[in-house]
């Protein structure tokens, strides 16, 4: 049953989760830290559990009684259907789907709301974001700076079609946008968010906040880590690219399709090199296989020729370390 309210909230912060409770408190606390007692009527905060067997999830939410609500799916569904349930249950004008292992920084909702209020043509507001590790330490990766001052991203269709650009915690969307464009397409699987951002870019302006206000957690217990090891991330990326002929303006379709496939290849090679440096030959092989299925660009193919030599060097480096580095 949808929660009752006397007044529509401005924000719906929907937190999808499944079986994982380790980071949930951190996600919730990062939201609550931004809301004063007199502002709570402006926010709906709800954890949407995908019928987990882990009862710690509901127990954690119960500690925030009166501030955070809990909904459990009657049966386990795919992750994208759970995201769509978040949209269905959201009561607010703006929706933020905050995954249970991610967090937001100070003034995130304030800055996003400023963006939405600037121009009625804005359908989504995003910010720069950074990756963090399992214990919350900030990693080197920080997303691209699209403009130095807050404002609408110019030529956003051309940018988002080629690369996803934003991890989910950095993106907020008007509920009416989801209602008009439809929900996440589960057939896109791990690229469902990218396909959604493209749909939004084609139909609406997108606001960008240059401050780093969202944090995407990188760890082994994620869907992302699984699809990377199999190379399935590039399979899903190609599915999105195949939708360009119906999503994008006709004058941009051919050019952006070519560029997106080449970008797919570059990203796959980057992941392959990263995996190779860790001795992960399975991920290296799977990424290169999918790169070759994505593009025949000479720029991309010439880089692949470096992989055998780097594999040999990586093997020698690990062998030498075993010989010369004393065991503690």
SS (H, E, C) 11-45: EEEEEEECCCCCCHHHHHHHHHCCCCHHHHHHEEE
Gap between the Cα atoms of 8 and 116, Å rounded: 17
Q: Where in the chain is the domain with CATH 3.90.550.10?
A: 11-217
Assigned token pair, 254: 């051919």
Question: 3-state class of 58 per DSSP?
Answer: helix
Question: Any idea what DSSP says for residue 10?
Answer: S
Gap between the Cα atoms of 66 and 69, Å rounded: 7
**How far from 159 is each of 247, 269, 279, CA to CA, in Å?**
14, 20, 33
Q: What is the pLDDT of residue 1?
A: 36
**How far from 71 is each of 66, 68, 88, CA to CA, in Å?**
14, 10, 12
Crossing angle for the helix pair 223-230 and 232-242, to the nearest 10 degrees: 90
Q: What is the pLDDT of residue 324?
A: 59
Low-confidence ranges of the chain (pLDDT < 50): 1-5, 327-328
Q: What is the pLDDT of residue 311?
A: 57
Assigned token pair, 110: 């304030």
Counting Cα atoms < 13 Å in the Cβ hemisphere of 186 gives 9
Beta-bridged to residue 126, according to DSSP, are 171, 208
Class of domain 11-217: alpha beta
Are 297 and 262 in contact by the 8 Å Cβ rule? The answer is yes
Q: What is the pLDDT of residue 226?
A: 73
Q: What is the pTM of this model?
A: 0.87
Q: What is the pLDDT of residue 136?
A: 93
pLDDT per position as a tens digit, 245-266: 999 999 999 999 999 999 999 8
């Amino acid at each position: 049953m949808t929660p009752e309210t006397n007044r529509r909230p401005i924000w719906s912060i929907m937190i999808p989760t499944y079986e994982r409770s380790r980071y949930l408190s951190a996600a919730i606390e990062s939201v609550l830290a931004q809301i004063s007692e007199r502002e709570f009527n402006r926010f709906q905060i709800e954890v949407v559990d995908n019928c987990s067997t882990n009862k710690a999830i509901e127990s954690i939410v119960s500690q925030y009684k009166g501030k955070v609500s809990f909904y459990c799916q009657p049966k386990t569904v795919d992750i994208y259907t759970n995201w769509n349930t978040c949209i269905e249950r959201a009561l607010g004008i703006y929706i933020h789907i905050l995954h249970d292992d991610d967090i937001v920084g100070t003034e995130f909702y304030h800055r996003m709301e400023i963006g939405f209020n600037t121009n009625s043509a804005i359908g989504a507001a995003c910010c720069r974001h950074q990756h963090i590790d399992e214990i919350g330490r900030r990693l080197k990766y920080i997303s691209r700076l699209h403009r130095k001052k807050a404002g609408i991203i110019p030529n956003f269709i051309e940018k988002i079609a080629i690369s996803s650009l934003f991890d989910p915690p950095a993106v907020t969307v008007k509920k009416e946008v989801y209602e008009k464009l439809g929900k996440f397409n589960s057939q896109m699987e791990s690229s469902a968010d990218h396909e959604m951002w493209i749909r939004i870019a084609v139909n609406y302006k997108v606001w960008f906040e240059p401050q780093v206000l969202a944090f995407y957690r990188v760890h082994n217990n994620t869907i992302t880590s699984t699809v990377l090891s199999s190379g399935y991330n590039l399979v899903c990326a190609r599915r999105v690219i195949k939708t360009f002929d119906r999503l994008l303006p006709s004058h941009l379709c051919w050019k952006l399709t070519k560029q997106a496939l080449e970008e797919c290849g570059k990203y796959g090679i980057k992941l392959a090199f990263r995996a190779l440096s860790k001795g992960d030959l399975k991920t290296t092989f799977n990424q290169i296989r999918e790169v070759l299925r994505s593009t025949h660009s000479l720029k991309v193919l010439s880089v692949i020729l470096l992989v055998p030599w780097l594999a040999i060097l990586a093997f020698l480096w690990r062998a030498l370390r075993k010989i010369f580095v004393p065991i503690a």
